[in-house]
Amino acid sequence: MEKPTGQSGAERRRSQRIFLSIPVLVEGNLKDGQWFCEETKTLVVNAHGALITLGAAVEVGQKLALKNRKSKEGQACRVVHLGTALMGKTQVAVEFAQPAPEFWHIAFPPEDWTTSSVETPQRVTK
């Protein structure tokens, strides 16, 4: 877990976040030991994990298995944050056991790619 440095969340992130919906299968054991398997979609992905929604009652620190439904690949992960609950599902941030930028099968933009570095096209007049 990263230590606070006085920087905002975006300034201390280890990898670029991308708002992307990818179907995933999440498996694990609940607090009572009962196994669960839930299909959901990502809200945000990055090279170190994802933000998903779950109906299952998970806890921070809990180990889960995440399977990318498109590629059929799996990753071990753990719950690092529980967010807002909406309509019976909680936003859950998961972190991979090892960074896996290839897991999502997308190209992450470079670290310095921000809206401030993109120039606005100039209008061409004749």
Q: Is residue 18 part of a domain?
A: yes
CB 95 within 8 A of CB 49: yes
Q: Is residue 2 part of a domain?
A: no
Q: What is the pLDDT of residue 1?
A: 40
CB 77 within 8 A of CB 99: no
Q: Is residue 1 part of a domain?
A: no
Q: Is residue 62 part of a domain?
A: yes
Q: Is residue 5 part of a domain?
A: no
Instruction: Provide the whole-model pTM.
Output: 0.75
State which amino acid sits at residue 86: L
Q: What is the pLDDT of residue 114?
A: 55
Tell me 61's DSSP state: T
Q: What is the pLDDT of residue 117?
A: 46
Q: Is residue 119 part of a domain?
A: no
Buried b (16+ CB within 10 A) or exposed e, 93-121: bbbbeeebbebbeeeeeeeeeeeeeeeee
Stretches in the chain below the pLDDT threshold 50: 1-11, 117-118
Q: What is the pLDDT of residue 48?
A: 92
What is the number of structural domains in the chain? 1
Tell me 7's DSSP state: S
Q: Is residue 47 part of a domain?
A: yes
Residue with tokens 């859950």: 92
Q: What is the pLDDT of residue 123?
A: 59
CATH code, 55: 2.40.10.220
Q: Is residue 4 part of a domain?
A: no
Q: What is the pLDDT of residue 58?
A: 96
Q: What is the pLDDT of residue 18?
A: 86
For residue 84, the enclosing domain spans: 14-108
CB 61 within 8 A of CB 79: yes
Q: Cα separation of 47 and 102, whole Å? A: 8
